[in-house]
């Protein structure tokens, strides 16, 4: 027994709204100086518990489960998980290695290029899941990128506008946003959403397939 085949909009609508709600909650918590363990203002978020990064794994699994139950799974979902995991390792180790030679700029530059390549190369592992994850990634990250622009222009002192250590303070607010907001949100975080979602989506798809 399978569920009706969901469209990408049907798959990602509620997850996207939940993600947006948590983004807003995170911003309010930081502006109101709520518990740092939940709403850390440090650059990168400081591992705060209230955030949207962990949703990648949850919604990746949800998409994989729903697609499989709707007859849009793949023959070897665990293979999808394994390949996606290996791709993540290759991209990470390659960027780290280049960074040892070319410094921080080399690390981030190679990481971004590797991330874009990884997104493109993983499409055929499970096209339906890949498309859902890509759509969800942009739905989740475009609002964050826009929020970061407003936060940087307003100098809010949240993790949305605090630059990483060693970041030059001579850049204009717009350039700062492009470097720490726009580019990372629309490349690295898209990559992490797609690859992380393929890993958990493959696992969930394998479990769902056994129930058919």
Per residue in 150-187, pLDDT (tens digit) is: 999 999 999 999 998 889 989 999 999 999 999 999 99
pLDDT digits (tens, 9 = 90+) for 71-80: 999 999 999 9
What's the token pair of residue 186?
A: 């629309």
Domain boundaries, the chain: 8-211
In this structure, are residues 92 and 46 in contact, taking their beta carbons and an 8 Å threshold?
Answer: no
DSSP codes joined into one string, 2-19: -PPPPPHHHHHHHHHHHH
The H-or-E segment that residue 151 falls in is helix 127-154
Buried b (16+ CB within 10 A) or exposed e, 91-117: beeebeebbeeeeeeebbebbbebbee
Taking a C-beta distance cutoff of 8 angstroms, is the pair 140, 16 a contact? yes
For the chain, the average pLDDT equals: 95
Lowest mean pLDDT segment, chosen from 27-31, 44-48, 60-64, 131-135: 44-48
Give the whole-angstrom CA distance, residue 209 versus residue 68: 6
Q: Tell me which residue of 45, 196, 211 sits closest to 134, measured CA to CA.
A: 196
Closest to 55 in 3D by CA, of 20, 31, 88: 20
Residue 70 pLDDT greater than 80, yes or no: yes
Q: 50-62: string of b/e by CB count within 10 Å (b at 16+)? A: bbbeebbbebbbb
* Statement: the pTM of the whole predicted model exceeds 0.75: yes
The pLDDT > 70 percentage for the chain reads 98
Q: What is the pLDDT of residues 2-52, one digit of tens each?
A: 557 899 999 999 999 999 999 999 999 999 999 999 999 999 888 899 999
Place of tokens 């993983």: 122
């Amino acid at each position: 027994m399978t569920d009706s085949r969901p469209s990408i909009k049907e798959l990602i609508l509620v997850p996207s709204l939940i993600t947006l709600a948590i983004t807003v909650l995170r911003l309010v918590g930081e502006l109101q100086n709520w518990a740092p363990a939940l709403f850390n203002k440090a650059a990168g978020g400081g591992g705060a518990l209230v955030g949207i990064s962990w949703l990648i794994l949850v919604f990746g699994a949800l998409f994989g489960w729903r697609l499989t139950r709707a007859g849009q799974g793949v023959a070897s979902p665990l293979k999808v998980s394994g390949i996606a995991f290996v791709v993540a390792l290759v991209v990470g180790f390659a960027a780290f290695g280049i960074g040892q030679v070319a410094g921080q700029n080399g690390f981030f530059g190679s990481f971004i290029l590797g991330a874009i390549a990884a997104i493109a190369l993983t499409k055929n592992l499970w096209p339906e899941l890949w498309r859902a994850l890509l759509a969800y990634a942009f739905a989740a990250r475009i609002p964050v990128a826009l929020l970061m622009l407003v936060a940087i222009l307003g100098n809010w002192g949240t993790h949305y506008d605090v630059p990483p250590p060693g970041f030059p303070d001579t850049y204009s607010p717009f350039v700062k946003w492009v470097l720490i907001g726009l580019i990372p949100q629309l490349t690295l975080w898209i990559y992490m959403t797609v690859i992380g979602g393929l890993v958990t989506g493959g696992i969930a798809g394998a479990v769902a397939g056994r129930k058919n």
